[in-house]
Amino acid sequence: ESGGSVADPAQLAMGKRVYEANCAACHGVNGEGQPNWKVPVNGVYPAPPHDSSGHTWHHPDSLLLEVIARGGSMPNSAMPAYAEILTEEERVAVLEYIKTFWGAREREFQAQVTRQRND
């Protein structure tokens, strides 16, 4: 149950390592994403931000973990699938790390969405 609870430091440290190695090149070191992320370039959408300005926090954990595992959910996404690259533990850790880019309101909203999805 990760709803609103503080992730443990070891998990966050792992998440940061995994994020910086696998995600930061496209999504930005601070989750800022690529410029004009809503506008496709040659039919492919740039990487969206994972900070409060993006949509990541609108979605429950289950969907976000699925996107990490399977790659970009949109047909026009360049995001690779990480199911074979990262362990489940690493995928969960990276999601917990991404949540550190959000403000308190976004974190609370996302925790609620996740709880509703699990009910």
Per-residue pLDDT of the chain (119 residues; tens, 9 = 90+): 344 456 699 999 999 999 999 999 999 999 999 999 999 999 999 999 999 999 999 999 999 999 999 998 667 899 999 999 999 999 999 999 999 999 999 999 999 999 998 76
Task: Find where tokens 């991404």 sit.
Answer: 98
Q: Please state the pTM of the whole predicted model.
A: 0.90
Predicted local confidence at residue 65, as pLDDT = 97
Predicted local confidence at residue 7, as pLDDT = 67
What is the C-alpha to C-alpha distance for residues 12 and 114, in angstroms, rounded to an integer?
Answer: 19
Q: Calculate the CA 115 to chain-centre distance.
A: 17
What is the C-alpha to C-alpha distance for residues 73 and 93, in angstroms, rounded to an integer?
Answer: 20
Q: Cα 66–10–8 angle (5° rounding)?
A: 75
Task: Find where tokens 């609620």 sit.
Answer: 112
Residue 27 token pair: 């999504």
Predicted local confidence at residue 93, as pLDDT = 98
Predicted local confidence at residue 3, as pLDDT = 47
